[in-house]
Structure 1
Amino acid sequence: MGSTAGPPDATYGFIGLGNMGFGMAKNVRQKIPSSSKMIVCELNKSARDEFCNTIEGTLETAESPKEIAEKCDIIISSLPNAKAVEIVYLDPSTGLLAGCSKDSKKLFLETSTIEATASLGVLKKVQEAVPSAEFLDAPVSGGIPPAHAGTLTFMVGGPEDVFEKAKPIMSTMGKAENLILCGGSGAGLATKQINNYIAYCSYVALCEGMNTGLKFGLDPKTLNNVINASSGQCWNSIHMNPVKGVCANSSASRDFKGGFKVELAQGVTRQMTKLMEEVGAKSMFGPVMDDIWARAVESPMCREQESRSIFRLFAEENGSSLGKVKVE
């Protein structure tokens, strides 16, 4: 399984067919050898049935992660939170480790965005139970459309030789040039959390700037064009301007329906504020970001909406849904 070869002919297990996992699993099935078997495990029956009924190629379903471990050589997981990852791996009755013999030679590619400390805890259990297994924390970035397009970025933590072995597999889901080894175990997740935090901090600034421009009477498209041609440019100003009609494919164009919800954004932001606390890094924006998301998940303007709906907290009701920050 060298980095220049295609994905190996093996039995693949994929656990989690949610917003990201569905597209990722689709690309794995389409790009691995036609002779390879793929077994999927998903609690949501409608998502599982939709996948099996719409994706071409040899497919089977498993009732539990344990069954995946018993039958598969390469196991990919895409799960919503650390608790789900711990259950999938560690449940004594249904978990992956329950289906592994001590000398199992499995490759675990764990792509969920969870706390680095939680991932390291799972890794320790894997190493104790299955010393010959290989494990990478490999969170992804890009969102749902790139998950379906197979153009994700992978931020990977783990041994370099395992990373090289896994590259042909990750290449089925992401751009080859965007498979990045960030360091040892946990480094992929720490990198992802830092990236997410910076993106959301810049989005809050974009919300403030666009709302100010609207109140001043500026044309929002012109304002955004200037931002994107100047030093204020950021990923969100290019792709996800919060003013409807400015970016054709932004979540604002869909009235913030679907996509990565505010509840999930609150979770990934808290992962970063927790990481800063754990490593003793000074933070000024952290408490502000925590406060914004806490208000968003309680507000009818944002609850259960796509995460960039927090623009409404700035633009509607004169920002009365937001708090005040006191600098001591």
Structure 2
Amino acid sequence: MSATASGYGFIGLGNMGFGMALNIRGKLPKETTLNVCELDEHRRMEFKEQASAYGPVEVSNSPKELAGVSNVILTSLPFANAVADVFENPSTGLLAASPKGSNKLFIDLSTIEVSASLAVGEAVAKSEAGVFIDAPVSGGIPAADNGTLSLMVGGREEEFDRALPILEMIGRKESIFYCGKAGAGLAAKQINNYIANVSFLALGEGMNTGIRFGLDPKILAEVINAGSGMCWNSLHMNPVKGVQPNSSASRDFEGGFKTELAHDVTCMAVQLMDDVGAKHVLGNVIKDVYDRALESPHCKGKECRSIYRLLVEDDGKGLGTTKIE
């Protein structure tokens, strides 16, 4: 199905979904209808008001109702249970209105456990209602709003080819990766996030050590970025306020990718390691750090790199003894 076909649906107008759906509506032909489904009434009405400037938008009362008028359906949901219910609920789910041979294309943009995604994909295959791919996204709310997300896709290659014109409405062409079989997109995203979270913790430990020794944090940051310790976080997200003006530390860790979300994707990555029998040394360590972060007033509800505060705050909940200036 080409990107100009009629019958598009989008479920989940949350922080990420709102921008993605708005980009899709803006890039579809003006005469094509975008059908949306969202539990939050204020959110869906706000979306319809904004998106209707680009063409027709209809609000569906359930996934089942949306499936009745949509051939290409994208889902952006927070948890595996929500994804399973949206697809498999016998009364209100997508598959309840997707008869055998309807050849629908289901694109799940959610970040959930690989095993949960595979189970939903199997339910779709069993229904013979169409095809399912996992296509988790990366880049945060600004990229969702700007249509410049990165996407990692799992499924059969012909299904990826069919989905690509739609994915290019929300992501940069050069940052849309076909990762392989079903679940491969999620696996790639979780592995990447895991590495980023571990490297950030190491960066925080190093910066805290340097400050305690008496090093100038800006000079230490320059040394790291000119040496083998350099990583994406050291280049862009130094945890010490004042070192990098655009890092989350400069905003006191407000906004961005929340601690709770980083905790969840880290747990997913460690679960994936266990599921495939991959040895890990740091998996349980980083899980423990994020478990503590969920209980810390310095990190709860904050941007995920606020875990640096566990190293430098002494309140009985942290990991260290020095104070933030």
TM-score range (shorter-chain normalised) is over 0.9
Q: Are 1:259 and 2:256 an aligned pair?
A: yes
CA contact (8 A) 2:7 2:34 kept: yes
* Residue 87 (structure 2) aligns with: 89
Query: TM-score, structure 2 length as denominator?
Result: 0.93
- Please report how far the alpha carbon of residue 125 of structure 1 lies from its aligned counterpart in structure 2 after TM superposition: 0.7
Structure 1 CA distance for aligned equivalents of residues 116 and 73 of structure 2: 19
* Residue 212 (structure 1) aligns with: 209
* Residue 123 (structure 1) aligns with: 121
* Residue 173 (structure 2) aligns with: 176
- Please report how far the alpha carbon of residue 251 of structure 1 lies from its aligned counterpart in structure 2 after TM superposition: 2.1
* Residue 233 (structure 1) aligns with: 230
Question: Alpha-carbon deviations, 1:235-264, whole Å to 9, x = none?
Answer: 222222222233333222222222222112
Structure 2 CA distance for aligned equivalents of residues 238 and 51 of structure 1: 36
- Look up the equivalent residue of 2:4 and give its one-letter code: P
Choose which of 90, 106, 109 in structure 1 pairs with 2:107: 109
Task: Give SS of 1:156's match.
Answer: strand
- Look up the equivalent residue of 1:108 and give its one-letter code: F
CA RMSD of aligned residues (A): 1.7
Count matched residues. 318
Choose which of 19, 22, 28 in structure 2 pairs with 1:26: 22
CA contact (8 A) 2:193 2:266 kept: yes
- Please report how far the alpha carbon of residue 319 of structure 1 lies from its aligned counterpart in structure 2 after TM superposition: 8.4
Task: Give SS of 1:20's match.
Answer: helix
Q: Are 1:224 and 2:217 an aligned pair?
A: no
Q: 5+ unaligned residues in a row in structure 2: which ranges? A: 321-325
Structure 2 CA distance for aligned equivalents of residues 318 and 237 of structure 1: 27
* Residue 326 (structure 1) aligns with: none
- Look up the equivalent residue of 1:84 and give its one-letter code: A
Residues 226 and 151 of structure 1, relative CA distance in 2, 3 Å threshold? farther
CA contact (8 A) 2:248 2:303 kept: yes
Percent identity of paired positions between Structure 1 and Structure 2: 56
Choose which of 75, 78, 103 in structure 2 pairs with 1:77: 75
Structure 1 CA distance for aligned equivalents of residues 216 and 29 of structure 2: 51
- Please report how far the alpha carbon of residue 123 of structure 1 lies from its aligned counterpart in structure 2 after TM superposition: 0.7
* Residue 63 (structure 2) aligns with: 65
Structure 1 CA distance for aligned equivalents of residues 197 and 166 of structure 2: 30
Q: Are 1:52 and 2:14 an aligned pair?
A: no
Question: Alpha-carbon deviations, 1:94-153, whole Å to 9, x = none?
Answer: 111112112212110111111111111001111111x15011111111222111121111
Residues 210 and 49 of structure 1, relative CA distance in 2, 3 Å threshold? farther
- Please report how far the alpha carbon of residue 76 of structure 1 lies from its aligned counterpart in structure 2 after TM superposition: 0.5
Question: Alpha-carbon deviations, 1:42-96, whole Å to 9, x = none?
Answer: 1122322222222332212111111111111110111111111111111111111
* Residue 142 (structure 1) aligns with: 139
- Please report how far the alpha carbon of residue 275 of structure 1 lies from its aligned counterpart in structure 2 after TM superposition: 0.8
Structure 2 CA distance for aligned equivalents of residues 286 and 267 of structure 1: 13
Of residues 253-262 and 83-92 in structure 1, the stretch that sits farther from structure 2 once superposed is 253-262
- Look up the equivalent residue of 2:41 and give its one-letter code: K
Structure 2 CA distance for aligned equivalents of residues 54 and 222 of structure 1: 47
* Residue 270 (structure 1) aligns with: 267
Question: Alpha-carbon deviations, 1:187-237, whole Å to 9, x = none?
Answer: 111111111100100111111122222223333333323322332222222
- Look up the equivalent residue of 2:87 and give its one-letter code: Y
Structure 1 CA distance for aligned equivalents of residues 91 and 315 of structure 2: 53
